[in-house]
Amino acid sequence: MDLFGQELRQIKVNYDSPSQMLKICNEKEGLNLETTEDRELQKHKGNEFVDMLLTHREISKRDSTYGLNFLKNINPTTKRVHTDFWQIKHTFRVGSSDPNLQNIPSKVPQFRACFKPRPGYKWVAIDYAGQEMRIMADFSNEHKMIAPINEGKDIHCHVASEVFETEVTKADKGKRDLMKSINFMKPYGGGPEKLTDLMGIPLDKSKELFSAYNMKFPLLNTWLVKQAKFGVDNGYIVTNSIHKGRRWFKEHKEMLDGNWRYKGNIERQSMNTPIQGTGAVVVKHAMYRSRKYLRDNGYWQKSVFMIGQVHDEVIYEIKEDMVETIVPKIKNIMVEVGNIYVSKVNMAVDATISDKWLKE
């Protein structure tokens, strides 16, 4: 109140100020933090103020990148958004910039729902299902993953059942989510610390889960360790025996000169490149084959337009009366190409047909 007890005193808080947020977290919430970086705040999820602050930051970032400012990217002539695609990247993936259309948030469907096809066309998104898990299982020859994937089982439930030594279903969300997180971390060299940050569980528990995972899937763990050692020893890593793409590590010389902090980066990239790089090559090869089919049959740039690519997903505008003819053919091509590089695991493809950009 003011001196006369008439009005509420205005308190101005800048929620983008690290120093103010640190003061509130420590003095008001009693958290005893050294920093308010997201990684540190993740350890205190469940605290009401921390949860709201993390949500605020997430929304602010989305708004600044994909809010009203994004409308500046609409071309005044075509009334559409155009991007630059970059084929040659060290990860072998296709990149996008000015603007980056591969970063449009997918977890909040309202953002992608703003992208729509022209009248008379459908928006068709065709993507590989569990692509990196399938590649990882195949390359490592981890039969305890290959068999359930080929049988159509939920791989995250299967892994959770193995690790926890009890049947886990989709209803057991907690256990399934833990194993799903580890499944996604393994191709990127993620470890217990990352799991603790992501899931908010004690580090000892994370170490225990990773240890159990490695014991249950020894062939996968052995293969990943082998890839990491190859990259450290040779200064490069290869995508696969067919493509034979090499990723050279510029950090290798610094490591050999005694700066060993680069070793971890090389190890992680060496584990990841055969998986992510092969996935990227598969998609590029499939795009080439699909384009050839569409051109040979007179569909290219007439009934069908290839308008985007997001990692394992290819996006088309297809005339409504041609969707049922063309989509199954493209799906078959993508599966066939996938199984050129992956021989022991059946590749699978999903297609989403809609009046807007969404991914089921």
Contact 163, 216 (CB under 8 A): yes
Task: Identify which has the larger pLDDT, 12 or 299.
Answer: 299
Judgement on whether residues 186 and 123 belong to the same structural domain of the protein: no
Q: Has residue 119 been placed in a domain?
A: yes
| pLDDT beyond 70 at 360 | no
What pLDDT was estimated at residue 146? 97
Q: What contacts 222, CB < 8 A, 6 or more positions away?
A: 140
What pLDDT was estimated at residue 140? 97
| Domain carrying residue 54 | 18-66
Vertex 172: Cα angle to 169 and 176 (nearest 5)? 80
pLDDT band of residue 326 (cuts 50, 70, 90) is very high
Mean pLDDT of the chain: 92
- Give which of 168, 150, 161 is closest to 212, Cα–Cα: 161
What pLDDT was estimated at residue 1? 63
Q: How far is Cα 196 from Cα 210, in angstroms, rounded to an integer? A: 11
Q: Has residue 114 been placed in a domain?
A: yes
Judgement on whether residues 293 and 342 belong to the same structural domain of the protein: yes
Looking at the 3D structure of the chain, how many domains does it have? Answer: 3
pLDDT tens-digit map of 193-225: 989 888 888 899 999 999 999 999 999 999 999
Q: Has residue 195 been placed in a domain?
A: yes
Q: Has residue 50 been placed in a domain?
A: yes
Judgement on whether residues 123 and 151 belong to the same structural domain of the protein: no
What pLDDT was estimated at residue 115? 94
Judgement on whether residues 53 and 82 belong to the same structural domain of the protein: no
What pLDDT was estimated at residue 42? 82
Q: Has residue 275 been placed in a domain?
A: no
Which of 165, 184, 216 marks a domain boundary? Answer: 216
DSSP assignment of 265-333 equals HHHHHHHHIIIIIHHHHHHHHHHHHHHHHHHHTT-BTTTEEEEEEETTEEEEEEEGGGHHHHHHHHHHH
- Give which of 228, 226, 210 is closest to 272, Cα–Cα: 228
CA atoms within 13 A on the CB side of 256: 10
For the entire predicted model, the pTM comes to: 0.87
Judgement on whether residues 101 and 57 belong to the same structural domain of the protein: no
* Mean pLDDT, range 72-83, rounded to an integer: 94
